[in-house]
């Protein structure tokens, strides 16, 4: 594990952490609303809540892997940002600019940080 983490890797870890915390909060919100509210389908609501909590924890784990400059963290990080771009575009197309725009900005920043040369060197070294 390299002792020096470039700023790009730190940015990628922060983006993943923000996405993870946001997903955890939303999953928790759905869970609380399921318990105190009157959902039309309790099973689906509980599934969405559990999925949000599990996904949020997974995103935080990937972010943690990035802080430790673990090679395995890059692929799920890139995949997450690609999915975030798709979700962000979908939100904008449905008129939810306030949600879609920050998601797209975060995803682009995360992708740029993950795919940058300093991040590649930190994760894989100087390979020919």
Question: Per-residue confidence at 127, pLDDT binned at 50, 70, 90?
Answer: low
The dihedral region occupied by 95, where left means phi > 0, alpha psi between -120 and 50, and beta the remainder, is left
Q: How far apart are CA 128 and CA 106, in angstroms?
A: 31
End-to-end CA distance of the chain: 19
Spacing of C-alpha 37 from chain mean position? 28
Q: Tens digits of per-residue pLDDT, 2-50?
A: 457 899 999 999 999 999 999 999 999 999 999 998 888 999 999 999 9
Task: Please count the CA atoms within 13 angstroms of the CA of 18 that sit on its side-chain side.
Answer: 15
Q: How far apart are CA 109 and CA 52, in angstroms?
A: 22
Helix (H) or strand (E) holding 124: helix 117-124
pTM as predicted? 0.88
CA torsion sign for 74, 70, 1, 109 is positive
């Amino acid at each position: 594990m390299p002792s020096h983490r470039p700023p790009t890797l730190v940015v990628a870890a922060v983006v993943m952490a923000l996405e993870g915390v946001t997903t955890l909060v939303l999953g928790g919100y759905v869970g609380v609303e399921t318990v105190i509210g009157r959902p039309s389908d309790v099973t689906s609501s509980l599934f969405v809540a559990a999925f949000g909590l599990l996904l949020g924890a997974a995103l935080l784990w990937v972010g943690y892997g990035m802080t430790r400059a673990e090679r395995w963290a890059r692929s799920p990080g890139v995949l997450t940002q690609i999915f975030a771009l798709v979700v962000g575009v979908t939100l904008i197309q449905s008129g939810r600019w306030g949600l879609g725009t920050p998601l797209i900005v975060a995803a682009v920043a995360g992708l740029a940080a993950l795919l940058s040369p300093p991040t590649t060197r930190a994760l894989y070294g100087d390979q020919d």
